[in-house]
Amino acid sequence: MRIAIDAKWYFGGPPSGITVVRNIVNEVIKLNGVDIVLLCDKRDSDRISEILKNKHASNKVSVVYLRNPFNFTTNLFLRASFLKKLDVDVAVFQNFIPLFRTKSCKYVAYIHDFLYIDYPQFFTFVERIVYRFITYSAKKADHVITITNSEKERIKKHARIGDDKISYVYHGVSDNFFPCEESKKREIKKRLNLPSRYILFVGRLNVRKNIRTLLEAYTLLKDKSIKVVIVGGENAKVYNLKKEVVRLNISEDVIKLGYVSNQDLYEILAASEVFVFPTFAEGFGLPPLEAMKSGVPTIVSNTTSMPEVCGDASLYFNPNSSTELAETLTSLLQNKTLKEELINRGLEHSRSFKWEISAAQIIGIIERLMR
């Protein structure tokens, strides 16, 4: 079987997109019986050796470069004749499939979510216009792969497609996330200039992530020896963190780190006391699982995919209630037994999310499609 994989986000794109594409490509390359054509961004041609150095890549992986820098336009206007020349059985695209079809190749749309339909307030006007073409992809693709059952049901509802045309495959969690001993945590905090105790948030700083509720909940905590550390960069629909911490008079208690390197992220997570993810809506929500694998107890919102992804390994709260979050935080910080129980549940729960499983399931779906 010969598969073309849209790999433009292997080196660049949204951070979550890079994580997904890079891990799935790396794992699919390891599988037997699959010849792979990677559709890559021409601007990354000098870095492509990072993929090809994979010991499993020889004689089974080829690379084709696409010149248009935008995932949306590149995919939509990819010529059918181009795919026909590649002689592939299936092409897997990120979100957008081409408008032009070829009978020689089946199209699979890997759609991350349909949140833009049910939660338009969290997306810009331009995003809402562009993302309408994702709905087209869901309707016209030979098969859709999404990332949770929650999103599968949302896509089925809005695209009006049958259960036989859509599957979901969970993300994996990198083995680079790790728990560490107290002595190591102290060393990390000293080296990275972090507070001795901190609540951690990791994610993009936009309104959908609902950082305001976390900050408001922090003001309700009696114990101010613990601080708040926020990791992530700004993007569309940005949240004005600086203005909010001034309003709440907690400027000295909130540390904003912005984007950090992967190595720093592994350590910042491992050294945190509790991880909070107050998001209003998620297609998957990987950071809480990364925290679990780091041996950190988690508190997440009770919306969309979060209960499905986090199971019984997390505490939950209503993302519209800062009071409820403050109460949940207080109960966790004051209850060592509960804390240890959540750590153990989280470590066990996160073990079932592996990228090699994700890749094998995707290939299994494609094999069934070809029968």
Residue 157: CB atoms within 10 A of its CB come to 12
pLDDT digits over 205-248, tens only?
899 999 999 999 999 999 889 999 999 987 767 778 888 899 99
Let me know if domain 2-172+354-370 sits in CATH 3.40.50.2000.
Answer: yes
Query: What pLDDT is recorded for position 60?
Result: 84
pLDDT (average), residues 260-266: 94
Inter-CA distances, 10 with 39, 83, 94, Å: 10, 20, 11
Which pTM value belongs to this model? 0.93
Cα-based distances in Å from 304 to 118, 134, 146, 170: 11, 19, 14, 15
What's the Cα-to-Cα distance from 91 to each of 68, 141, 169, 298, 331, rounded to whole Å?
A: 18, 10, 17, 37, 49
Helix, strand or coil for residue 39?
strand
Class at the top of the CATH hierarchy for domain 182-350: alpha beta
Residue range(s) in the chain whose domain bears CATH number 3.40.50.2000: 2-172+354-370, 182-350
Q: What is the DSSP letter of 54?
A: S
Task: Give per-residue pLDDT as tens, 68-93.
Answer: 667 888 888 888 888 888 889 999 99
What's the pLDDT tens digit per position in 296-337? 999 999 999 999 999 999 999 999 999 999 999 999 999 999
Q: Is residue 109 within a helix (H) or strand (E), and if so which, with residue range?
A: strand 106-110
Q: Which helix (H) or strand (E) holds 310?
A: helix 306-310
Q: Are 162 and 152 in contact (CB under 8 A)?
A: no
CB-side neighbour CA atoms (13 Å) of 286:
19
Q: Model confidence over 32-50: pLDDT tens digits? A: 888 999 999 888 888 888 7
